[in-house]
Each structure stands twice: as structure tokens, then as C-alpha cells.
Amino acid sequence: MIELKTPAEIQRMHVAGRFVAEVLSEVGRLADVGVNLLDLEHHVRGMIKRRGAESCYWDYAPSFGRGPFRNVICLSVNDAVLHGLPHDYTLRDGDVLSADLAVSVDGWVADSARTVVVGTAAEEDLRIIRATEEALEAAIEVARPGNRLGDISAAIWAVAHDYGYPVNNEFGGHGIGRTMHEGPHVPNRGRAGRGLTLRPGLTLALEPWFARTTDRIVYDADGWTIRSADGSRTAHSEHTVAITEDAPLVLTRREPENPATRADSASRLSTKDA
């Protein structure tokens, strides 16, 4: 069932969205050479606990996973792109890290993802990250009353096509609100003018993700982490967006970041709240 949100309910989702944006900004600053994924996981646990929020991932057990997810953030490295299970891995120079986070604050959920390069960035990695970010902005731009769900999918697909990246349609965006996953499903490839008519109050998590040279995926032995089938590198960008009478409202927009604020060591990471 698709539930349209009132302006007051959208504002409550915006509270959750601002917190998600804050956490992902922090993860981007802390992701550095020598930082362990488990340290990032535990740091985010502490932030969630101090805020009085709830992780939407902890104990999440969908049909495609293996048992309940027992972490609060998805951290995917290089050819991994979705549902990355945080594990004992130390980030290296040139790694590509995708971080995906959904939390509930006072019963309302927001979901967002970003991809960053650790240390020295290769141009081809920056290019695929840029492609997902541009695809996301194109999708947000058409998320307006009277347009169709297919217009969003077509906008994402058009950017991917221009960059030369294939698109997998097994996982995409989704409705969001009181829970992390609501209707409708939002494919990252589709035809304009088709599908559900967009109405004010519809809230969506839009999330283009691409791999460089394949649209096929494989799962790690952990049953969660999804990788490109050919080992090519990946990127993932996501925002929670509310359709309003006026312009689309991005509920998880991050503040512009100053590179000078990036952490230069793992010393800022705290595990005391794990």
C-alpha cells in the first residue's frame, strides 16, 4: 500500500533526514587510509545511540538476505555496491567506499547513501561516482506532481546511458515513511510516461547505483554483500525525497563539505557505545 504523507509528517521525516545526512557526512570525513570498517560501524552505532534514533538495518531480515542483518550501516568497498556487511577490513589508498544508512527518529524514517574515494582518487572512480550523483539529481528534478514513476526511472537510465554504464534493475529505489521499505518500487531503468502518477505527499528513496562494465551481480558468502559480477568498481548515491506541490524536497541533503575537515587518523573513532 502507498501512503501519502501530510506536510507535518514530511517535516518529521525531514528531522530523520537531517540526522542521516549528518552521519553520512561524518563517515565521509572519517573514511581514510588505515581506518577499519568495524571502527566506522561502531562509531555510527554511537551516533545513533546518542541521538535516541533507531537503526532500520539492525535485525533486518528480508527474503534476499541470510539471517538478520546485525549492523547499523552498510559499508561496501570497491566492487561491492549494496548491503555491504561491515567486517574486519582496513581501508587502503584508492579504495572506493559506499555507505548506506537508514534510521528512524520518533517513528519516521529517512534513507540515504553516498560513495567516496579513500586517499588517492583514480579518475575512473570519480567518474562513476559523478554519474550516480548526476543520475540522482536528474531523478529528483522530475519527481513532481503529474509526472510518472517511469519518468524517474528514465531520468536515471538516461544519465547512465550517456556515461556508458549498464543498469541493473533487480534493486532500486522505494517508497519510505513509517518503515524503510514501502511501495512503490522505483527501478533505475524504465520508460518515461509509464507507471504510477506522482502526487504530493509521496515520499521516495531514490538510489541509482552503477557498476562500470556489467549489470550482473553476485553475492558474497555472507549472504548480504552484493558485488558486480565481473569485479568492476561501483558507486551508489541515494536521497529520500518528498513530492510536494512545489519543488521536490530532498530530506537527506548534506551540507557542503570542506576537505580540510576530513579526519587524518582513526583517533576520532569511538567504540565505547558499541
Sheet holding 217-219, edge to edge: 80-82, 226-228, 217-219
| Side-chain-side CA neighbours of residue 252 (13 Å) | 32
Residue 255 is assigned to a ligand binding site: no
Peptide bond preceding 208: is omega within 30 degrees of 0, i.e. cis? no
For residue 177, which amino acid is it? G
End-to-end, the C-alpha distance of the chain in Å comes to 36
CA dihedral 34, 35, 36, 38 (to 10 degrees): 170
CA dihedral 222, 223, 226, 232 (to 10 degrees): 50
Pairing of the two strands 209-211 and 234-236 = antiparallel
Residue 111 is assigned to a ligand binding site: yes
11 SS3 class: helix
Residue 123 is assigned to a ligand binding site: no
DSSP 242-269: E--SSS-EETTPPPP--GGGS-SSGGG-
- CA 195 – CA 274 distance, rounded (Å): 43
Contact 237, 95 (CB under 8 A): no
Q: Closest Cα to residue 41, out of 107, 93, 111, 91?
A: 91
Residue 83 is assigned to a ligand binding site: yes
Residue 161 is assigned to a ligand binding site: no
Q: Which H or E element spans position 135?
A: helix 123-141
62 SS3 class: coil
In terms of DSSP H, where are the helices of 34-106? Answer: 37-51
Residue numbers in the known binding site for substrate are 83, 181
State the binding site. 83, 100, 111, 174, 181, 207, 238
Binding positions for a divalent metal cation are 100, 111, 174, 207, 238
